[in-house]
Amino acid sequence: MAYGRKVMEHFANPRNVGEMKDADGVGRFGNTVDGDEVVLYIKVKDDVISDISFQVFGCAAAIASTSMFTEMVKGKSLEAAIRLTKEDVSEALDGLPPGKIGCSVIAPDALRAAINDYLGRRGRGFITGDEIPPMRR
Amino acid sequence: MAYGRKVMEHFANPRNVGEMKDADGVGRFGNTVDGDEVVLYIKVKDDVISDISFQVFGCAAAIASTSMFTEMVKGKSLEAAIRLTKEDVSEALDGLPPGKIGCSVIAPDALRAAINDYLGRRGRGFITGDEIPPMRR
Amino acid sequence: MERTYFDNSATTRMDRRVMEEMLPYFDQRYGNASSMHSFGREAYDAIELARERTAKALGATTREVVFTSGGTESDNLAIQGAAFANIAKGRHIITTAFEHHAVLHTCHFMGSQGFRVTYLPVDGQGLVDPEDLKRAMTKETILVSVMAANNEVGTIQPIRELGAIAHEGGSLFHTDAVQSIAKLPVDIASDNIDLISISAHKFHGPKGVGALCVRKGVKLRPVVYGGGQERGLRSSTENVPGIVGLGKAIKIGVSEMEDSVARMVAIRDRLIDGTLSSLEGCFLNGHRTKRLCNNAHFRFDLVEGEALVLSLDMKGFATSTGSACSTRSAETSHVLKALGVRPEDSRGSLRLSLSKFNTMEEAERFLGAIGEIVARLRSMAPRAARSGGA
Amino acid sequence: MERTYFDNSATTRMDRRVMEEMLPYFDQRYGNASSMHSFGREAYDAIELARERTAKALGATTREVVFTSGGTESDNLAIQGAAFANIAKGRHIITTAFEHHAVLHTCHFMGSQGFRVTYLPVDGQGLVDPEDLKRAMTKETILVSVMAANNEVGTIQPIRELGAIAHEGGSLFHTDAVQSIAKLPVDIASDNIDLISISAHKFHGPKGVGALCVRKGVKLRPVVYGGGQERGLRSSTENVPGIVGLGKAIKIGVSEMEDSVARMVAIRDRLIDGTLSSLEGCFLNGHRTKRLCNNAHFRFDLVEGEALVLSLDMKGFATSTGSACSTRSAETSHVLKALGVRPEDSRGSLRLSLSKFNTMEEAERFLGAIGEIVARLRSMAPRAARSGGA
Ligand SMILES: Cc1ncc(COP(=O)(O)O)c(C=O)c1O
Ligand SMILES: Cc1ncc(COP(=O)(O)O)c(C=O)c1O
C-alpha cells in the first residue's frame, strides 16, 4: 500500500511540471473518468529529447512516475526513450504498489503519443507498440 | 460458570460429612463412572430427621449442595424433607450454574433412598417420586 | 509537525480511560474466562461486566450480546448466521447497494450459496427509501440488512421504519451500526432490530473486538466452530482485555454522547461551510443534515482524491478519500456510484471524519490549508481536465 | 495469598516486553493500516514487522502469514478454507480423535457439508501412528489435520512424518500448533506443513490474535468476507496492537526457547516425579517423554477433578482438569476417551501446565500441598467409590 520515499519525494516536488507552449510534440494518454491522464510536451533536437514537461491528473503514483519519467528520458534519443517501460519507471522509484504500475504509470504511453505527434508534424512514419524491440537495458 | 460465595463456602467447609455407623436409614444415589455419587445417613425420631450425614464423590456443586441439603433437612419431618427439590437447594445456595443442577444436586434423590431404607427396615411402605405432591414450600 | 487526525471513521484513538481499564488484564488478571480458578473468575467477571455495559448501551439483555473480533465478523455472523439458520423459511435477503464491504461481500457470498439477494437503491442524497423495501419484500425474505449510517458519506438511515417493514413481512432485521455507536442513540427493541453489529475501535475502544447483539429467539449458525464460547455462537478464548475495553468504551461513549455530538456537529458544520464557501468546484456528498455528527464528505473538481489525501498528509492532516480499503485509485467507490455520482465526479473525494478529540482550532487550520493544496493540484492538471472535468 | 499459575495451556501471562511494544499503538500510532496517511503507514509498517517476525519463526515468507483473531479462527480458516476451495479435487478429510474442539467441531461441520471425515485413533500414550494415516489416505483426501502437540495431555506428534505421508498422497497438511509454539522448533518447509495455526496468548502474547501460515500456492476460501485485508483471506480492520504483540511474543519466544524449555522441563519432571512418588493411586496420562516441556497431566483415583482444581485454587494454585471449556463435570474429556481411558478413570484429571515464569519453588510448594488436598477429598468419598474406583 504505502509509497516509498522516492515516490513521495517526486510527488511532493515533481520535476518538469507545466505546459510547454513551443513544444515540438505533444502527447496525451489516459482519461479522467476512471483513470489517470498525462500530457507530455517534448522538444527534440537531432532525434534527442532536449526538453520535456508534463501535466497530470491522477494519483500520487501517476504524478511521481511521470515526474521521474521526464527525468529519465531527458537527453535520451527518441529510440532509447521509447524503450523505457513502466517497470523501468517503477524500478527507478524503488518500486510502486503492484496495482499502481499498470494504471498509473502512463507516461511511457504519453511519450509514444508525443513522439508520434513530433514525427507526424515532420511527415515521418509513426511508431507503434509492435515496432519497439522487446529489449530491456 | 463461576460458583457463588455460598457454594464455595459449603465446598470449603462442608457440614455433616462422614459415615454414620448407627444410622436408621442409608441412601445411595448416582454413580462414579460419569456422574456424582452421594450417600446419605439419617437418624429419625418421630418421623423427624434428627441427624444426618453424608459422603460424596463429585464436583464442588455436588459437595456444596449435599452439605447445604443436609442443613436444610435436619430437624424437618420426613414428609417436609421429601418435598425439597433440586431447585430449592440451588436457591438456598444463591444459585448454581444451570448445567449443574440436574446432574450434581442429587442429595434429594439420595434422601428418598435413605427414607425408603428407613421405612423398609420398619416394614412401612415405600415412597416413590409420584407420591410426592407437586407443591413447593 | 503537529498532526490532525480527521479519519475517525477509519479508526479512532483509544480513550486513556479505556486503556487503563484494560491494562491489568494483560499481565495481572490474565486468566482464561473458562478456567475454574481465581484467575479464570476474574476474567469471567470482567467479561460479564462488559456484557452488561454493552447490553445497556444497546437496550439489550446480557444474554443477547455476543462478543466478536470486530465489525466484519459481526456482520458475517449476522448474515451468514441468520441466512444458513433460516434456510428452511426462505432464501431471499435484502440489503442496500451502499453497505460496507463486510455486508456487501458477505451478501455476494450468500448469492453463491443459493440465496437471492436484492440490493435496494439509495437516492442521490444517500438515503434508502422505505417504500423500496416494502416493494422488495417477498414471502421468501428471511433477512433485511441496512446500515444505520454509511461509512463514506455518513448518511443516516430510517432504521426503525425499515425494521418495522422487515418485521411486518416476517423477516429478521439486521443493522450494521459500526459507524453510529456513541453518535446516534439506539434501542434494539424500539428500533425493531434483531441483529446489530458494532466494532470497538470506531468509538475509542481497541481494535480487533466487536459485538453482535442477537435478539432473544433469533437462531444463528456459527461461522467458526470450536470450544463453544459465547453460547456456541463464537468459539475462541475470549479476548478479555479487548472485551473489557469495548465495555468501557461503549459506556463512556454513550454517557458522554450528548456533549461529544454537539462538539462534533459544530466542527463538522464549520468544516462544511468553510470549505464550500471558500473553494470553487467543491460539493458536499450526502444529505446535508441527515448525516453523522462527524462526517464531512466532499467532492472536488479537477483534483484526484489520493493526491489530495497525500498532499494533506504532508501538511499534517490525516484524511481519506472515503474508505480505507482499496489500493487502486482507479477503483470507483461503490457508495458514490450508488448515490449516482458519475465516475468522473467521484475521483476527487475527500472524507473528513471527526471524533470527540478534535477541536475547532484544527478545523480552522484545515480551512487555512486546503485552498492552497487544491490549487497546487489543479495547476498541474492538463487543460481538458481543467476545463471539462466538472 | 500468593498465587501460583499452573494453567499456561489455557492462557499465559503477557510478557512485559510484549506489552511495552503494544502500548504506543493504542493511543499514539493508532491509525488504520489501510489508511494512506502517516498514521496509516505507522500501523502498516508495524504489521509488516510483525509479519516478518512471525514468518521467520515459522520458516515462512511474509506473504504466507495471515493474521487472525486466534487459534480457533486459524483452524477454521485452514479447514473450512482448504476444504471448500478444493472441493473439486475430493471431499475427504483426515484428522484425529483428540484434536482441539476448534479442529474437531469444524470437522464435524464439514461432515454436515458433504465431506467425509476420518478420525484417526491415538494410542494409550496419546500418539498418532503414521501407519494409520497411510491406511486412511484415499485419492479423495484433500486435507490432513493433526495437531503438533495435544492441549490436554501434552503429547507431541510426528508432524514431519505425517506431513510427508499427506503430501505423498497428494493432500494438503495442516497442523494446529497452538500449544507448541516457542516450545518445539518448527519450520514449515522441512516439516511438510502447508497450513499452521498459532495463537498469541499461548506464548505470552495478547489474547484475541493469532495467525495462519498458508504455504505459497495453497488456495483457501475465506470464512469471513469484507474489506479484503490479509490478501482477502481475513477481512477486518487489522488488530494492530494485537498483531504487534504477536510478533514480539513469537520473536522473544523463539529466541529464548532453549533456556525456557530447559527450565520448564526441570520443573515438569520434578512435578511428575514428586507427585507420582508421594501419592498413591496417581498416574501420569500421556507418553512420559514425548510430551511438551510444560505439561504434566495426572489421573487420581477417588478424586473428582473439578473438586480437586477448586481445592487447589483455594490454596492458591491455578490448575485445570484438562481443558478450559465445559461447565458440566459429567462431560468426559474426548481426549482421554481417545487415549482409551475408562470414563470412571478420567474423573480425577489434573493438568499442570507451565510457562517460563514458573519456578522450582512453586513446584515444591505444590508438592507440599497436593497430598493433603487429595486426602481430604478422598476422605469424603463413599466407601464403594473408595474401594472400587481404581
Ligand atoms: C459500516 C462498517 N461496517 C463494518 C466495518 C468493519 O469493521 P471492522 O473493520 O472492525 O471489522 C466498518 C469499518 O471498517 C464499517 O465502517
Ligand atoms: C490445541 C489448541 N487449538 C486451538 C485452540 C484455540 O485457540 P484460541 O482459543 O486462541 O482460539 C487452543 C486453545 O484454546 C488449543 O489449545
Residues C176-208: tens digit of each pLDDT: 999 999 999 999 999 999 999 999 999 999 999
- Contact list, C380 vs chain A (CB under 8 Å): 14, 17, 55-57, 63
pLDDT at D387: 56
pLDDT band at B126 (very low <50, low <70, confident <90, very high): confident
pLDDT at D323: 63
User: SS3 for A36?
Assistant: coil
Q: Render the burial of A53-90: b for 16+ CB within 10 Å, e for the rest.
A: bbbbbbbbbbbbbbbbbbebbbebebeebbbbebebbb
Report the residue of chain B nearest C229, measured CA to CA.
Answer: B1
- Going along D89-188, which residue ranges are E strands? 92-96, 116-120, 141-145, 172-176
The CA D52 to ligand 1 mean position distance, Å, reads 26
Chains D and A touch (3+ CB pairs under 8 A): yes
pLDDT at C343: 86
Q: Which stretch of C43-57, C335-349, C352-366, D244-258 has the lowest confidence by average pLDDT? A: C335-349
- Contact list, C327 vs chain A (CB under 8 Å): 1, 97, 99-100
Contact D330 B55 (CB under 8 A): no
Give tens-digit pLDDT for A90-124: 999 999 988 888 888 999 999 999 999 999 999 88
Q: Please work out whether the CB of residue D34 comes within 6 Å of at least one atom of ligand 1.
A: no
Contact A1 D45 (CB under 8 A): no
User: What CATH number belongs to A5-121?
Assistant: 3.90.1010.10
Shortest Cα distance, chain B CAs vs residue C30, angstroms:
16
pLDDT at D22: 98
ipTM greater than cut 0.90: yes
CA dihedral for D14, D20, D25, D26, sign (positive or negative): positive
- Rounded Cα distance, B86 and B98, in Å: 11
Q: Please work out whether the CB of residue C154 comes within 6 Å of at least one atom of ligand 1.
A: no
Tell me which chains share at least 3 CB pairs under 8 Å with chain A.
Answer: C, D
pLDDT at D324: 52
pLDDT at A33 > cutoff 90: no
Q: Would you call C2 exposed, middle or buried from its count of C-beta atoms within 10 A (0-12, 13-18, 19+)?
A: exposed
Shortest Cα distance, chain B CAs vs residue D346, angstroms:
9
Nearest to B33 among D310, D328, D343 (CB): D343
pLDDT at C322: 82
pLDDT at A1: 54
Cell numbers of D102, please? Answer: 476448534
Nearest to D327 among B1, B12, B17 (CB): B1
Give tens-digit pLDDT for C128-153: 999 999 999 999 999 999 999 999 99
Cell numbers of C276, please? Answer: 464550500
User: What CATH number belongs to C16-255?
Assistant: 3.40.640.10
- Rounded Cα distance, D307 and A49, in Å: 88
End-to-end Cα spacing for chain A: 28
Percent of chain A with pLDDT over 90: 77
CA distances to D122, D331, D375 from B64, in Å? 37, 19, 18
Give the residue extent of every domain in chain D. 4-11+256-386, 16-255
| Ligand closest to the CA atom of residue C32 | 2
Q: Please work out whether the CB of residue C349 comes within 6 Å of at least one atom of ligand 1.
A: no
Q: Which of D213, D282, D293, D325 is catalytic?
A: D325
pLDDT at D329: 43
Contact C314 A39 (CB under 8 A): no
Residue nearest to atom 5 of ligand 2 (CA): D71
| Mean predicted confidence (pLDDT) in B111-129 | 88
pLDDT at A130: 60
Chains D and B touch (3+ CB pairs under 8 A): yes
CA distances to A70, C372, C375 from C379, in Å? 18, 10, 6
The model's pTM: 0.95
pLDDT at B136: 42
pLDDT at D151: 97
Does D327 touch chain B if contact means CB atoms closer than 8 Å?
yes
Find residue C282's DSSP bridge partners.
C300
Residue nearest to atom 9 of ligand 1 (CA): D237
Shortest Cα distance, chain B CAs vs residue C99, angstroms:
38
Secondary structure element (H or E) that encloses residue C214, with its range: strand C210-214
Tell me which chains share at least 3 CB pairs under 8 Å with chain D.
Answer: A, B, C
Contact A35 C330 (CB under 8 A): yes
Q: Are C239 and D69 in contact (CB under 8 A)?
A: yes
The CA D347 to ligand 2 mean position distance, Å, reads 23
- Rounded Cα distance, C263 and C271, in Å: 13
Cell numbers of D46, please? Answer: 508495524
Beta carbon pairs, B and D, within 8 Å: 75
- Contact list, B3 vs chain D (CB under 8 Å): 310
The CA C199 to ligand 1 mean position distance, Å, reads 7
Give tens-digit pLDDT for C86-113: 999 999 999 999 999 999 999 999 999 9
pLDDT band at C381 (very low <50, low <70, confident <90, very high): very high
pLDDT band at C371 (very low <50, low <70, confident <90, very high): very high
**DSSP assignment of C141-159:** EEEEE--SB-TTT-BBP-H
Q: Please work out whether the CB of residue C210 comes within 6 Å of at least one atom of ligand 1.
A: yes
| Ligand closest to the CA atom of residue D205 | 2
Contact A2 D41 (CB under 8 A): yes
- Rounded Cα distance, D176 and A24, in Å: 66
The CA D318 to ligand 2 mean position distance, Å, reads 19
- Contact list, C35 vs chain D (CB under 8 Å): 7, 10-11, 318, 320, 324
| Mean predicted confidence (pLDDT) in C345-354 | 94
pLDDT at C389: 39
Sheet of D295-300, strand order: D282-284, D295-300, D349-353
Fold of D4-11+256-386: Aspartate Aminotransferase, domain 1 (3.90.1150)
Work out the widest C-alpha separation in chain C, in whole angstroms. Answer: 73
Mean pLDDT, rounded, of chain A = 90
Report the residue of chain D nearest A4, measured CA to CA.
Answer: D41
pLDDT band at C247 (very low <50, low <70, confident <90, very high): very high
C213 is catalytic: no
**Binding pocket residue ranges, ligand 2, CB within 6 Å:** C 236-237; D 70-72, 75, 100, 102, 147, 151, 176, 178-179, 199, 201, 210
- Rounded Cα distance, D53 and D252, in Å: 10
pLDDT at C121 > cutoff 90: yes
Q: Which of C107, C213, C282, C325 is catalytic?
A: C325
Give tens-digit pLDDT for C274-321: 999 999 999 999 999 999 999 999 999 999 999 999 999 999 999 999
Q: Which DSSP state fits C320?
A: B
- Contact list, C330 vs chain A (CB under 8 Å): 34-36, 103-104
C158, C217, C181: which is closest to C71 by C-alpha?
Answer: C181
Q: Please work out whether the CB of residue C147 comes within 6 Å of at least one atom of ligand 1.
A: yes
| Mean predicted confidence (pLDDT) in B88-114 | 92
- Contact list, A96 vs chain D (CB under 8 Å): none
D280, D269, D282: which is closest to D345 by C-alpha?
Answer: D282
- Rounded Cα distance, B59 and B65, in Å: 10
The CA D100 to ligand 2 mean position distance, Å, reads 7
- Rounded Cα distance, D228 and C161, in Å: 32
Cell numbers of C315, please? Answer: 501538511
Which residue ranges in chain D fall short of pLDDT 50? 325-330, 388-390
Shortest Cα distance, chain B CAs vs residue C48, angstroms:
11
- Rounded Cα distance, C322 and C307, in Å: 13
pLDDT band at A31 (very low <50, low <70, confident <90, very high): confident
pLDDT band at B98 (very low <50, low <70, confident <90, very high): confident
pLDDT band at C385 (very low <50, low <70, confident <90, very high): low
- Rounded Cα distance, C294 and C203, in Å: 12
Cell numbers of C305, please? Answer: 482524491
Secondary structure element (H or E) that encloses residue D112, with its range: helix D101-112
For residue C147, the ligand 1 atom closest to its alpha carbon is 1
- Contact list, A56 vs chain C (CB under 8 Å): 380-382
pLDDT band at B134 (very low <50, low <70, confident <90, very high): very low
Does D1 touch chain B if contact means CB atoms closer than 8 Å?
no
- Going along B19-121, which residue ranges are E strands? 25-30, 37-45, 48-57
